[in-house]
Amino acid sequence: MAAANKLGLLSRSLSSTTQFVKPPVQVFGLEGRYATSLYSAASKLKQLDQVEKDLNALQVALKSNVSLRMAVTNPIINKKLMSNTLKETADKLKMAPATGNLLGLLADNGRLKNLDTVINAYKTIMAAHRGEVVCEVVTAKPLDSSQSKQLESALRSFLKGNQQLKITSRVDPSIIGGLIVSIGDKYVDMSIASKVKLYTDVITSSA
């Protein structure tokens, strides 16, 4: 069965109705497709908060437990065995059915290595569900207090109505300078690294 069909089943198989529940914000990429299907399934089962709680616990475990992290990213482990094991584990830990189904599906498709990014995508959807607008800011070095306040003021202009801004920051020296901002479903790359690449591509193509 194709992965796309299995994603649809993640939503349909957990509910008596096949009506798709559209998330409050669009998330892109492979992780976005899994997270969107999970949101639809959990919404119909009224398990949105429980699933988020399960995934938060899983994410903490992945970061703190090296053995678990190695197991879910090991491409040699039998997919079917891992799928069954994860479903049984989710059941024993009294996780929401939608959570167990997601883990089994990721294992079946050999996508467990994407679990962390799928969790982040689901958290983005849930933040929007609560009226929060998630914003990630990536800079080459930490911003000082004045810069942070200026940036937050600028980002608030994207908000509507009673929306709340939730900012997370991380440092990535590889962008050299400038910043990369993702807010809701918008993405803006103002890094020096991206400009260098652009100029390099232009020079190379005209050579």
Q: Give DSSP secondary structure letters for 87-113.
A: HHHHHHTT--HHHHHHHHHHHHTT-GG
Q: Is the pLDDT of residue 16 over 80?
A: no
Sheet holding 186-191, edge to edge: 164-171, 132-139, 178-183, 186-191
Distance of CA 60 to the CA centre of its chain: 14
Q: Which of 4-13, 24-33, 136-145, 149-158 has the lowest mean pLDDT?
A: 4-13
Supply the DSSP symbol for 133: E
More confident residue, 16 or 171: 171
Helix (H) or strand (E) holding 164: strand 164-171
What's the confidence (pLDDT) of residue 3? 54
Separation in Å, CA 58 to CA 18, 48, 95, 204 = 28, 15, 10, 45
What's the confidence (pLDDT) of residue 2? 52
- Give the pLDDT confidence of 55-81 residue by residue, as tens digits: 999 888 888 888 878 877 777 778 888
CATH 3.90.1200.10: does it fit domain 30-128? no
- Give the pLDDT confidence of 152-167 residue by residue, as tens digits: 999 998 888 888 998 9
In sequence order, the 6+-apart residues with CB closer than 8 A to the CB of 187 are 180, 181
Alpha-carbon span 171 to 152, nearest angstrom: 17
Instruction: Tell me how long the chain is.
Output: 207
Mean pLDDT, the chain, rounded, equals 85
Domain chopping of the chain, boundaries: 30-128, 131-206
Q: Is the pLDDT of residue 204 over 90?
A: no
- The CATH number of the structural domain formed by 131-206 is 3.40.30
Q: Is the pLDDT of residue 176 over 70?
A: yes
